[in-house]
Structure 1
Amino acid sequence: MSDKKQFQIVDLTKGAVFIALMAIGANLAAFIPLGPVPLTFQTVVAILAGILLGKKLGAFSMIGYLLIGFIGVPVLAGFSGGFQVIASPTLGFLISFVVLAFAAGAIIERSPQPTLLTFFMASYAGLIINYLIGVPYLYFHSNFILGLDGVQLLPIAAGMTPFFIKDLVLATFTAILAPQLLKAVNRQPQHMKAAS
């Protein structure tokens, strides 16, 4: 078996692992009711996907996760799945997983020797992207899809505070643990491999 083919198999395996982790993170706290947005651990898993798999494979693994959910496999939050998810208020958060995984991976890959600060930047950037996409879409969904009059963006953002605090704490732990996790999976950015 060629090194290239073996590398592709390893990458596919890693991507599949993160698809499974996203499904677990989506439903680990599925029965904790906190409003229209379910309490999940998907954001931190998506951040880790970018950091550990790299920007491309991390983003592709998130795309794979969403496609599996959209075709009906109950891997999304609340054990949901199917095309009806596209009409849900959390679609923005779902889409953000692809973007934030790519961004987190890109930040790590741009650094020749990632430091702890680099991992914090990647983790927090992913978190910010998650909410910059998810919260405005929640506002859009409330006003233009559900047709609820008078729904304001600021109260929606304020209502997301418990989720943001939870994700901020998890993102912090992710940044602290990520350097060791990256060593454990033996994954370095490609330009670092070329330099070694």
Structure 2
Amino acid sequence: MSDMTAQTLQASFSPLRLDSRSAAVQIGAVACGTLILALTSQIEVPMIPVPITLQTLVVPLIGALYGWRLGALTVLAWLIEGAMGLPVLAGGVGGLSWFAGPTAGYLFSFPIIAALTGWLAERGWNGRNALLAFASFLLANALCLVLGAIWLSSLIGIEKAVAFGVTPFLIGALIKSALGAAILKASVRA
């Protein structure tokens, strides 16, 4: 085995080992992930135009725990449930209108940030290195805020988008990133 292959295997991170499980287990994981996302979306601090929710903790966490492919697929499945009208989005809402309103940019960023943290976790930015895990969550939260603000700025202007769609979420992004890293650290098997 080459040194590069050994390093890749050592850095590989899949506490749930979903990539090696049956299709039925993977489908069950997607269903469970969408349920967790739906439940944590209900925990919110109402704000206008964008509420504070646990989504920006759980979305990257699903990516990191499930792997980039299954993590992104899980988040896409949850978004499809929301688009179909199921009450799985923040505040128990659903429907296509939420994908054109103020929160659309954040929603569309979610599969991307799940894939990002999953991809980084598979490359060593995981629970084996809490600082890198924290950095991966911080990158995911920053990307979510940037993409969300870009969309929001098309509706209310860039200054208001930063003031109402980024600034209030910065402290929460730090806290959620630390919590995500701690959860990944706790998931590492001895």
Per the normalisation by structure 2, the TM-score is 0.81
Give 1:5 shift. 9.4
Residues 89/178 of structure 1: CA separation in 2 closer, same or farther (3 Å cut): same
- Sequence identity, in percent? 30
Residues 5/165 of structure 1: CA separation in 2 closer, same or farther (3 Å cut): closer
CA deviation string 1:32-87 (max 9, x = no partner): 33211112110110010111000000000000000000011011112111112222
CA deviation string 1:83-108 (max 9, x = no partner): 12222110110011100000001011
Task: State how 1:73-84 maps to structure 2 within 5 Å.
Answer: 73-84=86-97
| Equivalent residue letter for 1:24 | L
Aligned length: 170
Question: What's the RMSD between the two structures over aligned residues?
Answer: 2.2
CA deviation string 1:135-184 (max 9, x = no partner): 11111133xxxxxxxx3x13321223222211221111111221222549
**Is 2:22 the counterpart of 1:7?**
yes
- For residues 47 and 66 of structure 1, what CA distance do their matches in structure 2 show? 15
| Equivalent residue letter for 2:37 | M
Out of 27, 49, 65, which is 1:52 matched to?
A: 65
**Is 2:184 the counterpart of 1:172?**
no
Give 1:8 shift. 1.7
Aligned to 1:156: 161
Residues 19/158 of structure 1: CA separation in 2 closer, same or farther (3 Å cut): same
Give 1:122 shift. 1.7
Q: Structure 1: which 5+ residue stretches go unaligned?
A: 143-150, 185-196
Kept in 2, the 8 Å contact 1:26–1:76? The answer is yes
Out of 128, 131, 144, which is 1:117 matched to?
A: 131
Kept in 2, the 8 Å contact 1:51–1:182? The answer is no
Out of 25, 30, 39, which is 1:24 matched to?
A: 39
**Is 2:133 the counterpart of 1:134?**
no
Q: Which runs of at least 4 in structure 1 moved beyond 6 Å after TM superposition? A: none
Per the normalisation by structure 1, the TM-score is 0.79
**Is 2:103 the counterpart of 1:98?**
no
Kept in 2, the 8 Å contact 1:18–1:45? The answer is no
- For residues 119 and 73 of structure 1, what CA distance do their matches in structure 2 show? 32
- For residues 92 and 28 of structure 1, what CA distance do their matches in structure 2 show? 20
Kept in 2, the 8 Å contact 1:85–1:91? The answer is yes
| Equivalent residue letter for 1:161 | T
Q: Structure 2: which 5+ residue stretches go unaligned?
A: 1-18
Give 1:112 shift. 9.2
Give 1:121 shift. 2.3
| Equivalent residue letter for 2:92 | F
